[in-house]
Amino acid sequence: MKTWAVYKLKFRDGFHVSSGGFGMEKADTQIRSDTLLGAIVFQAVRVFKNRELGVDSNNVSVSSTFPYFGTGEATEFFLPRPLGWTPSGLPERHRKTFQKMRYLSHRWLQRLVATEPSAPTSWFPARSESELRLVHGCWFSEQVKEPPRVFMKMEDRPHVSLDRISRAPNVFSISEVRFHPDAGLFFIAKFSDEQTQLKFEAILEFLSDTGIGADRTVGKGIFTFESVSDFPTCFCPTADNPLWEQGKTQLLLSLYHPTSEEQIHLNFRRSQYDIETRRGWATTPSGMTLRKAALRLLREGSVLYYEKAEPLKGSWQTVLEEGTVNLTHPVQRNVQALTIPIPLTSGTFGRVSQFR
């Protein structure tokens, strides 16, 4: 029985999700795994009146969202480039371009990790074409004859607030992300069983109508979604993937905080990783806004060497304790891992900044 799925999100209008910190001026071009699953669990409480989806039993884990472009079989799904890794056989003329990449086409990554890790020269276009294949940090495969110049853009929308006493105006702006009609975001989800997947999709349908991110009351963050049935099985995040038998390295597709047991078996000397600090706010039932505790997390694209040769799990971390002010329950952040096996048998790793 298949216990994982890939979902495409197509936004009707722009959306705003903070890129970190406490302000609203800067937006992220993706929805991180902690934000995505947090929004889904919040809706689960409203729909099912309990917290059984992902919080108590940890029966769901999701990746962060990543961009896609195209329709049907020609769709390009972009996954994070393994941090610090350069494939062997990469022509010298493309090394600088390769380091600029944030995401690789799933076709490109599929061949690198599953069939042809040496990256033949034929994969790369002439130098005059190389920059054209790199759009918004995404490297298109050769199947796309003419990559778009732009498929997502950031816009600033002006807002004004009035002082409650003096009525003096305060003008500010909020950034939002918009996509080409054939573009959007996608994510991978892993479930404990089929019944959990059905509940998850019901809640995702509810979330698509209410929206995600800021300014939902004016229609921002509303989307439609569909399941991708023909996604390559080499990207399966469950233990059924035969690639787990070929090595102990895995590519992280979500934000992640290792459990105490996992820290013992994670070999950080043989890993390439980056650390990101996540902050934010929580609103109590009475309307009071509280600052969440900061967490330092391993971010997407990290290549982790786990000696057990099985998928990492992670956990939920408490960022506000029960009893803080008038909280009746703890506030938690999803830092479960969603990884795929990536047996990099060739290529070289460069130095990676480990703090962000």
Q: Which of 264, 271, 262 is nearest to 315 (CA)?
A: 262
pLDDT at position 356 is 39
pLDDT at position 316 is 84
Share of the chain above pLDDT 90, in %: 19
Higher pLDDT among residues 149 and 352, named by residue:
149
pLDDT at position 189 is 94
Both tokens assigned to 153: 């853009």
pLDDT at position 114 is 59
Backbone torsions φ then ψ of 285, nearest 5 degrees:
-55, -30
pLDDT at position 74 is 86
Instruction: Point out the least confidently predicted range of 9-23, 29-43, 121-135, 255-269.
Output: 121-135
Radius of gyration of the chain (CA): 21
User: Could you identify the residue written with the tokens 């690639």?
Assistant: 243
* pLDDT interval class at 204 (50, 70, 90): very high
**Span 110-131, mean pLDDT?**
56
pLDDT(135) > 50: yes
According to DSSP, the residues that pair with 199 across neighbouring strands are none
User: pLDDT for 16-71, tens place per residue?
Assistant: 777 665 555 567 788 999 889 888 888 887 777 655 554 445 788 999 999 999 88
Give start and end residues of each alpha helix (H) in 182-324: 194-210, 260-265
User: pLDDT for 216-230, tens place per residue?
Assistant: 877 788 899 999 988
- Evaluate whether 303 touches 86 at the Cβ level (below 8 Å): no
CA atoms of 120 and 133, how far apart (whole Å):
17
User: pLDDT for 269-324, tens place per residue?
Assistant: 888 899 988 888 776 655 567 788 888 999 999 999 998 878 998 888 888 777 77
User: pLDDT for 66-86, tens place per residue?
Assistant: 999 988 888 999 999 888 877
* 114, containing H or E segment: none
Instruction: Read off the pTM.
Output: 0.86
Average pLDDT, the chain: 80
pLDDT(241) > 80: yes
Residues 68-95 as b or e (16 or more Cβ within 10 Å = b): bbbeeeebbbbbbbbbbbbbebbeeebe
* pLDDT interval class at 177 (50, 70, 90): confident
* pLDDT interval class at 125 (50, 70, 90): low
Give start and end residues of each alpha helix (H) in 134-275: 194-210, 260-265
